[in-house]
Amino acid sequence: MLTEGFLATLVILACGAGIGLGVTSAGGETFAGAAATWSHHYGVWSSGLGPALGAFLGGSANFLKALGIPDAAAVALMGVLVASFAGTTLDTACRLQRYIVQELANTVAPKTSRGFDPIAGLRGKHGATIFAVVTAVIMAAIPPTGAEWTLENAGRGGLILWPVFGATNQLLGGLSFLVIAFYLWRRSVPVWFLIGPMILMLIMPAWAMTLQAFIGEHSWWVQQNWLLVGVAVATMALEVWMIVEAIALFPQVKGVIETDAIEPVKA
C-alpha cells in the first residue's frame, strides 16, 4: 500500500506539473491543463500502474523542460527519481513490516523458558523479514476479482487493496499523534494540544472504513469482497488494541523514559 500511495502521489504531482503546459500522450493527444490530465489518467488507473507512471514522467518532464532542461535529460532525471523513491519505499515498508511482526510475535505469545516455541522464527529479524517479504509477494500476486491466477494478472494486488489505503494512511497519522503524545508525556511535557487532533484522526478514518466495509448496498460486505473486509477488520482490531493499551499505560509512564520502561527491538 505504501507503493500504491507513492504512485498516486506521483500522479497528483504530475498533474500539477502540467498546469499551463499541457501534457502530450504517446499517441500525440494533448490535454490542456491539470484538470483534464488528471481526469484522463485517473480514469485508466484500474488498468495498471503503467499509465499512472507515464502520467508522472510526462507531467514532470514537461515541468523540467519549461525550466530549460532538455527533453531527454528531463525524462532521465524523473526516471532516476521514480526508481530511487520506489526502492526506498519498498525498503521502508519491508523494515516496518518486520518490526511489526517481531512486536506482535513477542506480545501475543511471549517467549517462555520451557516448552516448544512454534513462532521462534518470527521473533528474530531474519524470520520476520522473510515472513514480511513472502506475505507481500503473495498479496501482490493476487489477481483482480474474478480473474485467473496467471502471470498476466499477477502484480495487481496493490490495486485490489487501494480502497483501504486512504483510511489506513489517516489512521497511521492518528497513531503517530499517539506516539508523539507518549513521547512528550514521558518527559513531563504538556500534551493537551495533541489530544484534539489525535482523537479526530483516530475516530474519523475508522468511522469511514466501517461505513465502507459494512454499511450500504455498495459496501465490501454486500459485495462479498472478503479480502477488503478482512483487512478492514484486522486494521480496526489493531487500532482498538493500541488505544486500549495506551489508555492503560498513560497514567503510569509520566517521567519514565523509554529505555527504563521497555526493551527495544534489536535491529
Q: Do both 125 and 173 map to the same domain? A: no
Q: Do both 92 and 176 map to the same domain? A: no
Q: Do both 168 and 263 map to the same domain? A: yes
Q: Do both 74 and 193 map to the same domain? A: no
Q: Do both 137 and 178 map to the same domain? A: no
Mean pLDDT score, 9-24? 45
Q: Do both 73 and 137 map to the same domain? A: yes
Q: Do both 134 and 168 map to the same domain? A: no
Residue 120 lies in a domain: yes
Q: Do both 134 and 176 map to the same domain? A: no
pLDDT band at residue 111 using 50, 70 and 90 as cut-offs: low
pLDDT above 90 as % of the chain: 4
Which residue range is the domain that position 100 belongs to? Answer: 1-141
User: 39-43, 109-113, 196-200: lowest mean pLDDT where?
Assistant: 39-43
Of residues 185 and 36, more confidence is placed in 185
Task: State the Rg of the chain over Cα.
Answer: 22
Task: Transcribe the chain into DSSP letters.
Answer: -HHHHHHHHHHHHHHHHTTTT-EE-TTS-EE-SHHHHHHHHHHTGGG-HHHHHHHHHHHHHHHHHHTT--HHHHHHHHHHHHHHHHHHHHHHHHHHHHHHHHHHHHHHS---SSS--TTHHHHSHHHHHHHHHHHHHHHHHPPPTT--S-TTTTT-HHHHHHHHHHHHHHHHHHHHHHHHHHHHHHTT---HHHHHHHHHHHHHHHHHHHHHHHSSTTSTTTTT-HHHHHHHHHHHHHHHHHHHHHHHHGGG-TT--HHHH-PPPP-
Residue 15 lies in a domain: yes
Q: Do both 168 and 134 map to the same domain? A: no
Alpha carbon 253 to chain centroid, angstroms: 30
**Residue in 108, 15, 93 with CA at minimum distance from that of residue 54:** 15
Q: In the Cβ-directed half-sphere of 240, how many Cα atoms lie within 13 Å?
A: 8
Q: Which residue has the cell 494486488?
A: 157
Structure confidence at residue 17 (pLDDT): 44
**Separation between Cα atoms, residue 229 and residue 164, nearest integer Å:** 10
Residue 149 lies in a domain: no
Mean pLDDT (the chain, rounded): 75
Q: Do both 64 and 194 map to the same domain? A: no
- φ/ψ of residue 133, rounded to 5: -70, -45
Structural domains of the chain, count: 2
Mean pLDDT score, 37-49? 57
Residue 84 lies in a domain: yes
Q: Do both 104 and 218 map to the same domain? A: no
User: 121-130, 142-151, 246-255: lowest mean pLDDT where?
Assistant: 142-151
Mean pLDDT score, 194-219? 89
Residue 119 lies in a domain: yes
Residue 146 lies in a domain: no
Residue 35 lies in a domain: yes
Q: Which residue has the cell 518486520?
A: 98
pLDDT band at residue 10 using 50, 70 and 90 as cut-offs: very low
Residue 102 lies in a domain: yes
Q: Do both 181 and 127 map to the same domain? A: no
